[in-house]
Structure 1
Amino acid sequence: MPIVNIQIMQGRSIDKVKSVVARVTDVISEELNSPKENIRVLVTEVPNTHWGIAGVTVADRDNK
């Protein structure tokens, strides 16, 4: 059973997340010849206060 983990920064719409789940499922199903019913997609949204780039959180970078 394929399991796909996706981590994205918080702030996308529910419709956008649903679209990503559907499209990733389609690609995995096609590439691995796996039934969609066996594919799991986990989307974790991370707040920008918990996402660091070059040692600085995105929240702090945005506030500069």
Structure 2
Amino acid sequence: MPIVHVFLWEGRKDEEIKEMVKKLTKVFVDMGIPENAVEILVHDVPKTRWAIGGEFASKKFRNI
């Protein structure tokens, strides 16, 4: 069974997350994997805990 971890900056709406989970699940179903075998874990990470190139996303992407 596939286990998918998705790391995102926190702040997305529940409906956006639900839609993403449906679409990711469909990718595996289209490959012949039963829907109930697909596990998806969504990790909402604050920009203050996510660094890119040595700089926190809260600073580097403050307008996003």
Instruction: Give the distance between the partners of 1:9 and 1:47, measured in 2 at CA.
Output: 6
> 1:58: which partner in 2?
57
Aligned-pair RMSD on alpha carbons? 1.3
Give the share of equivalent positions with the same residue, in percent.
32
SS in 2 for 1:22: helix
Please state how far the C-alpha of 1:20 moved relative to its aligned partner: 0.5
Stretches of 4+ moved more than 6 A in 1? none
Matches within 5 A, 1:1-64: 1-31=1-31, 33-61=32-60, 62=62
TM-score w.r.t. the length of structure 1 is 0.87
Q: Letter of the aligned partner of 2:53 in structure 1?
A: A
Aligned residues: 62
Please state how far the C-alpha of 1:21 moved relative to its aligned partner: 0.6
Instruction: Give the distance between the partners of 2:26 and 2:46, measured in 1 at CA.
Output: 27
Q: Letter of the aligned partner of 2:57 in structure 1?
A: V
Please state how far the C-alpha of 1:60 moved relative to its aligned partner: 2.3
Question: What are structure 1's unaligned runs of at least 5 residues?
Answer: none
SS in 2 for 1:12: coil
Question: What are structure 2's unaligned runs of at least 5 residues?
Answer: none
